[in-house]
Chains A and B, each alone.
Chain A
């Protein structure tokens, strides 16, 4: 079946460096993508989203890039901080009004002080 997956299960980054977390999706009909952050003992927390009519969107210290040609999504975190240590999930859905979010397995980001 179609799915959303992640290239790397773990990522270690030095504090202050930039982090890049990647995600591949296979459903060409997907038109809305979300990145979630899940800290230990907490539920997933929305970070940033992007619609398929965009290829880049920036938030506070985070940037999401979407490459529809290769069905690839990435999350860039600038000046990574210890508080960024968490598991990051990408999720996708197709069609406005859809309640079905398909999640990737997650990448664990560890920030080295």
Chain B
């Protein structure tokens, strides 16, 4: 285990549903990330939070809404998704120190299917 947990592991939702993905890290890290992993595409960075502040938003549609209440927890709120949003959503964390190279530790992911 990497020290990063994600729930649920699998989620099926309709396009009109609202759901949330949860990530928790037990590593004492300060930075947390959301990635999207689709078939035939490289891992895509969605959001980065460092010390609870959002530092990156890679042009992600507003139907994805992140929330970081503290350095250990990260949520991804989902609303009116499209079938093409079906993918594996991965959470990661890292030390978050500026001036250092930060190895990222990944959770197991949530397999999302949008019907």
A-side interface residues toward B, CB under 8 Å?
A: 3-4, 32, 34, 36, 41-46, 49, 51, 89, 91, 93, 96-97, 99-106
Does residue B84 face the partner (Cβ distance < 8 Å to A)? no
Task: Check B100 against A97 for contact (C-beta < 8 Å).
Answer: yes
Chain B residues with a Cβ closer than 8 Å to the other chain, count:
29
Give chain B interface residues in 44-79, CB to chain A under 8 Å.
Answer: 45, 48, 50, 55-56
How many interface contacts (CB-CB < 8 Å) are there between A and B? 62
Residue of A nearest to B50 (CB): A99
Task: Check A49 against B106 for contact (C-beta < 8 Å).
Answer: no
| Cβ contacts under 8 Å, A36 to chain B | 106
Min CB–CB distance B66 → chain A (angstroms): 14
Rounded to whole angstroms, the CA-CA distance of A41 and B42 in the bound complex is 17
| Cβ contacts under 8 Å, B50 to chain A | 99
Rounded to whole angstroms, the CA-CA distance of A43 and B102 in the bound complex is 17
